Amino acid sequence: MAGSTLVFEAPRSARSAGRASPILRLLRTPSGAVGAALLGILLVAGFGASFATPYDPAAQDLRNTVHPPSLVPVRGSVHLLGTDQLGRDILSRLLVGLRISLLVALTVVPLSTALGLAVGMVTGYRGGWLDVALMRLVDAQLSIPTLLLAVAVVAVLGTGLPQIVAVLVIAGWPGYARVVRAEVLALREREFAAAARAVGASDIRILAQHVLPNVLPTVLVLGTLHLPVVIIFEAALSFLGLGIQPPTPSLGQMIGQAQDLVWQAWWMPTIPGVTITLVVLAFNLLGDRMRDVLDPRLRGLGPV
Amino acid sequence: MSGYLVRRLALSATAMLGVITIVFVLLHVSGDPASLLVTQDATRQDMERIRQAYGLDRPLSVQYARFIARVARGDLGYSYRQGLPVTELIADHLGATFELALASLAVAILLGVALGMAAATRRGSGVDTAAMTVALLGTSMPSFWLGLLLIIVFGVKLGWLPISGYGGWDHLVMPAFVLGGFYAAQVSRLTRTSLLEVLAQDYIRTGRAKGLRDRVVLFKHALRNAALPVLTVLGLSFGQMLGGALIVESIFAWPGMGRLAVQAVLGRDFPVVQGATIVGAAVFLAVNLTVDLVYGWVDPRLRSAAQRA
Amino acid sequence: MRRGRWRTIVALYAAAAVVLALGSGVATQAQPPRVLVVAQSADMATGDPAKNTGLATIAVLANIYDTLVHRDASLNLKPGLALSWRAVDPTTWEFKLRKGVRFHDGEPFNAETVKFSFDRMLDPKTRWPGAGALQLIKAVTVVDDGTVRFTTSQPWPSMPRFLGYYGMIVPPGYLKQNGDDALARHPVGTGPYRFVRWVKDDRVELEANPDYWGGRPKISRVVIRVIPTDAARVAELLAGSVQLANLVPPELFGALKTSSKTKLVVGKSLSVFFVIYNLVNIAKDKPLADPRVRQALNYAIDRQAILASVMHNVGTPVATFCTAVMTGCDTSIPPFRYDPGRARALLREAGYADGFDFSISGTSGTYPGDRDITLAVADQLNRIGVRARVHVTEVGVQLRAVLDRKLPEDGWFTRFTDFFGISTIIPLRAFYSPGEWSQWRPGYAPFNQLVEAAQAAPDEAKLREVSRRLQLMYKEQAPAITLFTAPNANGMSRDLEWTPRPDLELTMFDASWNRR
């Protein structure tokens, strides 16, 4: 057929002899650059602009509710992204909500990583009954579909910012633990470990000096996969009413609350939805390119 | 092979036991579960009744043992709110979830594989970039937002599809698209990568050199070999769809297990939350086990590798 | 080449099939439907009225079963399964029953079935959640086939009112033959609609009972569907697949009003929103211990502004604790007016010119508008110097804390409803010190005494008099910030005629299509 373009070349290998630092290589790709730029803007908005919002996110004006985005002042104030059902400025709430979402993600991922790393390293290195017990726990927890698990834990812990962080860490650490353990198992048998043991180095020192640095790149990759997932999970829980509670704004919560107003106020669920998509997109783009750079074997591994 | 099967079954069984324990611990960590059932109509007498009926006044170890025994018998308790057996509630809802999951799987396969194939075979072209951008957006968009948008456009403004509820194929379209779309995006990226790797292999070039037509090469050889990882992911996704379609079912009022679980959490109906989690995990494990076995059977290299793990 | 042509043909067929399918869907929606599809937010829990008293259950079962006394849309008492009733003596009520009524399975209705139903309901083994409301009934005796007597342990002049809401009559023969579970799955009653089918968590299908004693219902088939998400419920109404959606939250009113196919119909309300003060063993030096402070916060609230914005103009400010449709409510007593100046003056008088901290326990999604109302109230309190903060909590956690009298906050936002339609019921439940929900302990003795007097009032005139005194005392003592009525808002197709009931039952007997 004319126009058939089956390609038979070797896939582009990122194992090219790049002397340039990983970060630069990452930024040279178009998607990496876009992702970085997007993330940059979002970070500035979330951690900078959100402290200097045009209006107090909690300031109500019951005579100016559900107003569409406009450049024209109404009752003396300009609301670029409109007002919500209590007359609060949506732009201000969006910025604070963005900050909260980023905060949750940037708290949950390091905590999950730390916990998963600790458990994975100890069980992988030591083995024994602790290994068996913990790995059974990990298996069991990973058998429960994640959202279902999160929702079940919320049933117990309740809602709110600290609870949501706890829920997401609980849901997240087993993934890390399992992978770290597998890596540690392999590393344990390598020469440098045997040599270090022969010299009499303590387990902790071996773990810290030899095992940890080798495991770190994998963990970083997992982290990049985990970030966007956390953002969507927090938004999903808040959307269902099981996450961050008012008056603290959250992007998912804003969509959930605006669900009913979608008829008269299409912008109310749309704007936070676009924002979440942009955040996740930025993390996905950067994550993809980082995985290419760090370990080409993991290329194409989507968040499963 | 049978050794592998036995080992995997044993693993799944211990995982299930772990799930049951987790679920039990979750319930009792919250203290007195009956106390949270209070509404303005249900009062202290109801709470006492529930506490006694469910043996919540016994020591923890006794409750744990009884819980395991009950679950082993297939008895998941009674819903606090509706008084009906949890197994019955779940059975009533599982069918709908299966339907939705199957339809979503179809969407994931059709859309995902097609997109991935198109991108791989036209690598580097506009089609490739477009397809992968769509896929990227698909994994970045929150499903609840996409669902809302579709409801507004197709349900309300255009009136082409029913907004919610359970019914014929037209009720299934939007929820399946939203749930399946997310996995379709992942599948398309994976298909593309997998296909690209296979297409670069020597035997493909050999086939080409022998004069086989592109199409034959593609479908007979490349796709079949690229299929394996894709099938695995599809299998895992199916398991996730079965247990975790909570958001999609909630938005579209689809009477499946996910919605049952969400309403149970909102209503503090712990036995139902417990039951849904256990069943969700069991289904997920069953699907994973099946995928593993099929995979192991199809690719003997992995069987031995798995046995060593 | 051949392959290409095949592909085109297949594509054309597919396209044609899609177009036909969609087209037929669109076409059938153009005809006026015969079946009335109603949507509510939860499924009925059981078909047996003695097992559950939830709103969603009663809403459906009110079509299948009858009570002895019926109420119209203004809650006036009308004959139901009983033609008339009178008090033989202060502790005995006699009901004359309707003759010739049969259950849907053919069984006859008579005094025996009434006795059976009530004995079953009030039997502790049945665990009927509504038993507390009818606890004054000591015995039910059959006088003859068409007459039944209720003996009460104390004089109970309002009993007929209570029997207008509770006391659905069930078929003894059916139950003895098939057991409780059968009735739970397949309800059989004397009502205007017969049960056809129940798809759990999806719909209940009903068909008209042609032999109904009140006449054949105008609409022959009714389906009551479950659509928990408010937006989805309204969306289906707008699309035409549902013709009545109840309990529409305020955010969706606009959508209903602008559509040419739907209308918003608001019914009378039996529910009131409050922010109730936590006065449990309150120390004398605390701000809320002073009635002037409690009144001041009432003056600080601009109820009209909240109604106009958050509630989209549905609802009326309430002065004390009763709404216009409740018997005994004196509507000439005006609500607290919006007067921030007076609020500040009262605070100064009480010694709190600098304000004080006031935490409110609120819910989100439990009652329509709850979250936003609480936030708006807190905002308005802040403007007069009271530093109000809202803690959104789970309703179960909040209610548990209230019941245990361990509420950590200074006030709790809630809604109280009185399905029986008597003005003094909400004070009995919410403010009367010995009551289980009351946060007013030890409370104010004269108020408690008046509540007791109201329960013992021998007739409606005395009830009105006591109720009026109670309302005036309430405004003085102000144990809560009274807000306004909770909405009873329903979305309907324009061609449906039906009056929403204050008790939120979804009886479709009076519903009809208007010919357009």
Q: 3-state class of C84 per DSSP?
A: strand
- Name the residue facing B155 among C202, C235, C394 (closest C-beta): C235
Report the percentage of chain A scoring pLDDT > 90: 31
Report the pLDDT averaged over residues B136-156. Answer: 84
Inter-chain CB proximity A11 and B196 less than 8 Å: yes
Q: What is the mean pLDDT of chain B?
A: 79
Inter-chain CB proximity C239 and B163 less than 8 Å: yes
- Name the residue facing A139 among B11, B139, B143 (closest C-beta): B11
Report the pLDDT averaged over residues B16-27. Answer: 83
Largest CA distance in chain A: 78
Chain C window 403-462: which residues touch B at a Cβ cutoff of 8 Å? 403, 414, 416-417, 436-437
From C181, which residue of chain B is nearest by alpha-carbon distance? B84
DSSP A169-231: HHHHHHHHHHHHHHHHHHHHTSHHHHHHHHHT--HHHHIIIIIHHHHHHHHHHHHHHHHHHHH
C244-245 vs C35-40, strand pairing mode: parallel
Query: Could you check whether the bond before residue C442 is cis, i.e. omega within 30 degrees of 0?
Result: yes
Largest CA distance in chain C: 98
From B213, which residue of chain A is nearest by alpha-carbon distance? A1
Residue B28, φ and ψ in degrees, nearest 5: -85, -15
Element (H, E) at B125: none
Closest-CA distance, C234 to chain B, in angstroms, reads: 10
Inter-chain CB proximity A151 and B122 less than 8 Å: no
Inter-chain CB proximity B236 and A277 less than 8 Å: no
- Name the residue facing A246 among C249, C364, C379 (closest C-beta): C364
What residues in C contact B252, CB-CB < 8 Å? 232
| pLDDT for residue C183 is more than 70 | yes
Split at pLDDT 50, 70, 90, the class of B214 is: low
Which has the higher per-residue pLDDT, B129 or B99?
A: B99
Q: Using CA atoms in the order B10, A128, A141, A103, what is the torsion angle rounded to 10 degrees?
A: -160
Q: End-to-end CA distance of chain C: give it in Å, rounded.
A: 57
* Distances in whole angstroms, Cα of residue A38 to Cα of each of A41, A44, B96: 5, 10, 40
Report the pLDDT averaged over residues A99-122. Answer: 93
pLDDT tens digits along A151-165:
888 877 878 889 899
CB contact, 8 Å: A263 with chain C? yes
- pLDDT (0 to 100) of residue A28: 75
A52-56, A291-295, C473-477: which has the minimum mean pLDDT? A291-295
pLDDT tens digits along C412-448:
999 999 999 999 999 999 999 998 899 999 989 999 9
Which has the higher per-residue pLDDT, B81 or B171?
A: B171
Split at pLDDT 50, 70, 90, the class of B253 is: confident
The rounded distance, in Å, linking the Cα atoms of C37 and C35 is 6
What residues in C contact A247, CB-CB < 8 Å? 375, 390, 392
The rounded distance, in Å, linking the Cα atoms of C420 and C427 is 13
| pLDDT for residue C104 is more than 60 | yes
Are the beta carbons of A54 and A92 closer than 8 angstroms?
Answer: yes
Report the pLDDT averaged over residues A119-124. Answer: 86
Split at pLDDT 50, 70, 90, the class of C481 is: very high
- pLDDT (0 to 100) of residue B208: 67
CB contact, 8 Å: C231 with chain A? yes
| pLDDT for residue C12 is more than 60 | no
In eight-state DSSP terms, residue A83 is: B
- Tell how far CA B120 is from the center of its chain: 27
| pLDDT for residue A44 is more than 50 | yes
* Distances in whole angstroms, Cα of residue C456 to Cα of each of B226, C100, C440, C451: 82, 36, 22, 9
| pLDDT for residue B240 is more than 70 | yes
Closest-CA distance, A280 to chain C, in angstroms, reads: 26
- How many CB atoms are closer than 10 A to CB C484? 24
A: neighbours with 3+ CB pairs under 8 Å? B, C
The CATH class given to the A23-294 domain equals: mainly alpha
In eight-state DSSP terms, residue C76 is: -
C: neighbours with 3+ CB pairs under 8 Å? A, B
- How many CB atoms are closer than 10 A to CB A129? 8
Q: End-to-end CA distance of chain B: give it in Å, rounded.
A: 15
What residues in C contact B251, CB-CB < 8 Å? 229, 232
- pLDDT (0 to 100) of residue C368: 86
**What residues form DSSP beta bridges with C262?**
C493
Closest-CA distance, C358 to chain A, in angstroms, reads: 15
Closest-CA distance, A92 to chain C, in angstroms, reads: 17
Assign domain B93-256 to its CATH superfamily: MetI-like (1.10.3720.10)
Inter-chain CB proximity A87 and C309 less than 8 Å: yes
Which has the higher per-residue pLDDT, C396 or A181?
A: A181
Inter-chain CB proximity A247 and C375 less than 8 Å: yes
The rounded distance, in Å, linking the Cα atoms of C239 and A252 is 27
Are the beta carbons of C482 and C321 closer than 8 angstroms?
Answer: yes
CB contact, 8 Å: A3 with chain C? no
Query: Could you check whether the bond before residue B175 is cis, i.e. omega within 30 degrees of 0?
Result: no
What residues in A contact B123, CB-CB < 8 Å? 7
* Distances in whole angstroms, Cα of residue B213 to Cα of each of A9, B207, B216, B219, B222: 17, 9, 5, 10, 13
User: Residue-wise over A259-291: b if at least 16 C-beta within 10 A, else e?
Assistant: bbbbbbbebbbbbbbebbbbbbbbbbbbbbbbb
